[in-house]
């Protein structure tokens, strides 16, 4: 299994390289964002470990660029601070998982194995509901040909609703599917993101397709 580690703290990078090699990974290291990005684009890695604070280009940007190029290699981000803000941002730029520093080496290896097992996976196929179209892999969305810019999290949420048009999807289900079953985030985050979506897919078009069904969940009207 091939890994790319992008980490500017040389001693930490070396320790990771040695430790992960001992676990059977083949590890390449980059010490700055731009080198990391070009290696990620050229190389065929099973997973990428990406620090956030990096010289040249920060980890969020590196991650977003990799995803924008249609590269779905699993990415585990190392966040310097622990806190939901960083984690949310890491996931929003297209990272698959995150780990706060300082981290347990055992946990890192377990997470990497899980990511590699899951693999880059088959990305979801384009979907259409009425005149609303979404290509989750390319992260493009439009209504009647008018492009709509969505963040990765909004794409995931919209995709979850578009996969079941006209059906009520519960808040918990959306939370599990978009944020993960063990995310521990406040369930009200679903409501917040639905508000973002409404401001993008409905309001500018004078539509009301994203509905709240009180006490039950949310529904994307299919007409
Ligand atoms: Ca760093």
Instruction: Give the Å distance between the CA of 120 and the centre of ligand 1.
Output: 25
Instruction: Give the Å distance between the CA of 157 and the centre of ligand 1.
Output: 31
Same domain, 135 and 99: no
In sequence order, what DSSP letters do the residues of 81-103 get, joined into one string?
S-SHHHHHHHHHTT-SEEEESS-
Distances (CA, A) of 45 to 72, 79, 119, 123, 146: 10, 21, 10, 17, 36
Higher pLDDT, 37 or 71: 37
What pLDDT sits at residue 137? 75
How many domains in the chain? 2
As a whole number of angstroms, the distance between CA 219 and CA 197 comes to 13
Same domain, 105 and 141: no
DSSP 8-state assignment for residue 208? -
Same domain, 22 and 87: yes
Instruction: Give the Å distance between the CA of 159 and the centre of ligand 1.
Output: 33
What pLDDT sits at residue 223? 63
Q: Where are the alpha helices (DSSP H) in 119-185?
A: 152-162, 171-174
Instruction: Give the Å distance between the CA of 136 and the centre of ligand 1.
Output: 30
As a whole number of angstroms, the distance between CA 28 and CA 49 comes to 10
CATH code (residue 188): 1.10.10.10
Same domain, 20 and 114: yes
Lowest mean pLDDT of 44-48, 86-90, 99-103, name the range: 86-90
Same domain, 11 and 114: yes
Domain boundary among 118, 136, 165: 118
Instruction: Give the Å distance between the CA of 80 and the centre of ligand 1.
Output: 8
pLDDT in tens, 44-59: 899 999 999 899 999 9
User: Which structural domain range is residue 216 located in?
Assistant: 127-220
As a whole number of angstroms, the distance between CA 89 and CA 87 comes to 5
């Amino acid at each position: 299994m091939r890994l790319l580690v992008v980490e500017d703290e040389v001693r930490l990078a070396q320790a990771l390289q040695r430790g992960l090699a001992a676990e059977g990974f083949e590890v390449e290291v980059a010490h700055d964002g731009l080198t990391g990005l070009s290696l990620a684009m050229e190389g065929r890695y099973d997973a990428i470990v990406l620090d956030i604070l990096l010289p040249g280009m920060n980890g969020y940007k590196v991650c977003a660029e990799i995803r924008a190029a249609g590269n779905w290699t699993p990415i585990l981000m190392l966040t310097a601070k622990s806190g939901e803000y960083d984690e949310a941002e890491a996931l929003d730029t297209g990272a698959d998982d995150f780990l706060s520093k300082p981290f347990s080496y055992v946990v890192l290896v377990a997470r990497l194995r899980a990511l590699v097992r899951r693999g880059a996976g088959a990305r979801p196929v384009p979907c259409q509901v009425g005149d609303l179209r979404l290509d989750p892999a390319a992260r493009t969305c439009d209504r009647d040909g008018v492009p709509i810019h969505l963040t990765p999290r909004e794409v995931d949420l919209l995709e979850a609703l578009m996969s079941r048009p006209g059906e009520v999807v519960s808040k918990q289900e959306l939370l599990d599917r978009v944020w993960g079953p063990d995310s521990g985030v406040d369930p009200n985050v679903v409501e917040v993101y639905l508000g973002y979506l409404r401001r993008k897919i409905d309001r500018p078009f004078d539509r009301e397709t994203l509905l709240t069904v009180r006490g039950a969940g949310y529904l994307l009207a299919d007409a």
